[in-house]
A and B are shown apart, each in its own frame.
Chain A
Amino acid sequence: MAFYIFRRFVNYFILSAIATCLAYVVASLALDPASKYYGRNPQPSRQTITNILNGLGVNPDVPVLERLWNWIVNLVVHGSLGNTVGGTSVVDQIVSRSGVSLRLLLIGSVIGAVVGVTLGVWGAVRQYKFSDQVVTYGSYLIFATPTFVIGVLLMIGATALNGAAGMQLINFTGEYSAGLSGSWWDLTADRAVHLLLPTLALVLIGAAGYSRYQRSVMLDVLSADYIRTARAKGRSRNQALVRHGVRVALIPMSTFFAYSFGTLVSGSIMLEIVFSFHGMGEFTLNAITQSDINAVAGSTLFLAVLVLFSSTLSEVLYAALDPRVRN
């Protein structure tokens, strides 16, 4: 089993590596890092611009594959991803920003998965009853709403709530209140409050997807022969559904976890920007607008590593849940 997972890991590793390289090449071709210097007033000399571009390793006159090679060598040998156009180290940026992003992503997706799976099982067992219908229509409403709209609507709601309460119950701009000082506990509580709305938005998105999928898997399982066998042995219907049904229905969820991860990553990137978090989402989108090739490459590498780990985790879960793949 360890070998199986190792093999899958290597497979994802290769895929992620190639995807990152491709992203580097595409970004190098699509972005024109020189343009922003030409737009400056006073315009720097051609030589100055070339020097800057060479310094960043993004000079378009150098063949793109050569630049890619240099980038890879730099990464492998020095552990460096180059500098941003602002002159800071990409690695430093990622290190300081990733915490913000990962915190949101992890908390949001874990709670979303738990809530979604629970709702899905519950909906399947109570199929077509009122509560099932509410969950079903609710998740379609969430599917129909762009992530940033969910974020903004939550903000409007929180503002209304704050207004009604006459005080700042829920702070939602930025990841912490600027200038706040106090004990560790105060600071943590402040961050938690700031995290509330974006996390809620992410939980809604995750739970909507998980609940639909879990519900349909669970419905398949409800009519499975082994549920009937378990009941024929003397399990009551509900016992059989929980002991045998839910356990089996969780298996495909591990695969769905990997699939849904992309959606959650895009969602959390959008939410970071909506809620003005200085995370990887902001870094990535700014990189594109500033034609910052190194920053784009760095953030795609970051995402690829995330995907690599989530895919491997999903394989581990799969193997843990399903004895049929273990050997």
Chain B
Amino acid sequence: MSLLEETNTAGGTPVVTPAPGPAVPDVISGRTPLSRGRLIWRRLSGASRFWVGAIAIAAILLWAILGPLLYPYNATGRDPLNMGLGPTQLHWFGTNNIGQDLYAQTLVGLQKSIVIGLIAGPLGTLIAAVVGSVAGYMGGVVDRVLVWCINLLLVLPSFILLVILSPLFRGLSWVFLTIFIAGFSWMIMAQVVRSQTRSLRDRDFVKAARYMGVPIPTILGRHIIPNVASLLIIDATLGVVASILAETGLSYFGFGIRAPDVSLGTLLAEGTSAAVTRPWLFVFPAGVLILTLFAVSLIGDALRDAVDPTSGVNRD
């Protein structure tokens, strides 16, 4: 579009293109154009949903950490006098039919789910970054093999794959579950990184490095990865959501976290049978889960809009 010639839409709204200039060091005078990082931050901080998400997630994190300390009941103890009760002043979220406190259980489950999400999301992104950039940069046989592996992993839905593999980590700690979740959540992002790398590989600054004789790992680390970093950050953020969803899904159907460990998924599984008759057993953990994931999604989406000038702006 020829408007681009006049105005640069990298800022979402027309920004004046720094026009070509002479050798005179005139950048010192005049307004320095915003760097990409500052620009992203400006757009991000201007988005209300970023702040809603960020404040919500900060509050949830604080709550998950401090909440159990400020509450008299723990997750495993039973209150024989108050079994199967709805929310009361004593038991904020009510109790289950053996008298365990749901509020305390929810907080413990929340902690576990968040930890799993925070590990598995970025881990998946890391795998995606390595596989995608290597495949995209090397091309040829390496690329074909890696792409083929990616496609193979994509044939079956990753939920099914994890279910089939669940006997492998059945007896092991939740850490293995986390690693398995990360291990099946990187494929689509790897494809994205690969296609970005392929276009970066033909960019002149990468060609220049190649013609200088810069070794390939250095090129990947110095030029490729930093230039897809914003994508990776977004993916890691949304990966947290996807990992928590995967964990709760597996745990809900009995393939993930198992007793004595508690996660939001196991709580929801326990609550389902009584969901209609004693809805608090289901609704409270579900609400906490949805709120957490919603907050993270909002941050991820705001990041995406801030990074990708075309994703958020209608320039009709």
Contacts and interface: CB of A to CB of B under 8 A. Distances in A.
Q: Which 5 A-B residue pairs are closest in the complex by CB-CB distance?
A: A144-B293, A266-B159, A262-B157, A223-B315, A19-B155
29 contacts: A32-B167, A127-B314, A141-B294, A144-B290, A144-B291, A145-B286, A145-B293, A146-B268, A148-B249, A148-B252, A148-B268, A148-B272, A152-B268, A152-B272, A155-B276, A219-B313, A222-B315, A223-B315, A263-B157, A265-B157, A265-B160, A269-B159, A269-B160, A270-B253, A288-B163, A288-B255, A291-B167, A303-B157, A304-B155
B293 A26 contact: no
Given A141-B294, A144-B297, 20 more contacts: A15-B148, A15-B151, A15-B152, A23-B164, A30-B167, A141-B290, A143-B293, A144-B289, A146-B289, A149-B290, A152-B275, A152-B282, A153-B286, A219-B312, A219-B314, A262-B154, A266-B157, A266-B160, A289-B254, A304-B156
Given A27-B164, A216-B311, A223-B1, A262 B158 contact: yes
A147 B248 CA distance: 10
Is the interface on chain B under 10, 10 to 19, 20 to 34, or 35 or more residues? 35 or more
Contacts of B276: 155-156, 159
A193 interface: no
B10 to A, nearest CB: 13
Contacts of A38: none
A225 B296 CA distance: 35
Interface in A111-159: 124, 127-128, 140-141, 143-149, 152-153, 155-156, 159
Interface of A is mostly: helix
Given A26-B165, A30-B165, A146-B248, A284 B160 contact: yes
Interface string B165-184: 11110000000000000000
B211 to A, nearest CB: 33
A201 interface: no
A190 to B, nearest CB: 21
A263 B157 CA distance: 7
A135 B254 CA distance: 33
A22 B160 contact: no
Interface residues of A, number: 57
Nearest to B286: A149
Nearest to A140: B297
A285 B163 contact: yes
Interface in B235-275: 241, 245, 248-249, 252-255, 265, 268, 272, 275
B279 A156 contact: yes
Interface in A193-247: 216, 219-220, 222-225, 227-228, 237
Contacts of A27: 164
Contacts of B110: none
A296 interface: yes
Interface string B134-151: 000000000000001001
Contacts of B311: 216, 219
B249 A270 contact: yes
Interface of B is mostly: helix
A8 to B, nearest CB: 12
B298 interface: yes
B156 A288 contact: no
A151 to B, nearest CB: 9
Contacts, number: 143
Which residue among B188, B241, B293 has the maximum number of chain A CB atoms within 10 Å of its CB?
B293
A144 B241 contact: yes
B310 interface: yes
B316 interface: yes
A300 B165 CA distance: 13
B301 interface: yes
B249 A307 contact: no
A74 B158 CA distance: 28
A300 B1 contact: no
A259 interface: yes
A18 interface: yes
Contacts of A220: 310
B159 A237 contact: no
Which residue among B154, B248, B311 has the maximum number of chain A CB atoms within 10 Å of its CB?
B154
A23 B241 contact: no
Which residue among B159, B255, B298 has the maximum number of chain A CB atoms within 10 Å of its CB?
B159
Contact of B156 (A19, A124, A140, A274): A19
Contact of B164 (A30, A153, A266): A30
A263 B122 CA distance: 21
B143 to A, nearest CB: 16
Given A15-B155, A216-B311, A223-B316, A143 B241 contact: yes
A254 B303 CA distance: 26
Contacts of A259: 188
A321 interface: no
Contacts of A140: 294, 297-298, 301
Contact of B316 (A222, A284, A285, A296): A222
A300 B160 contact: yes
Interface in A140-195: 140-141, 143-149, 152-153, 155-156, 159
Contacts of B313: 219
A263 B185 CA distance: 12
A149 B155 contact: no
A128 B254 CA distance: 42
A146 B243 CA distance: 11
Contacts of A15: 148, 151-152, 155
A316 to B, nearest CB: 18
A145 B286 CA distance: 8
Interface in A31-89: 31-32
A26 B291 CA distance: 36
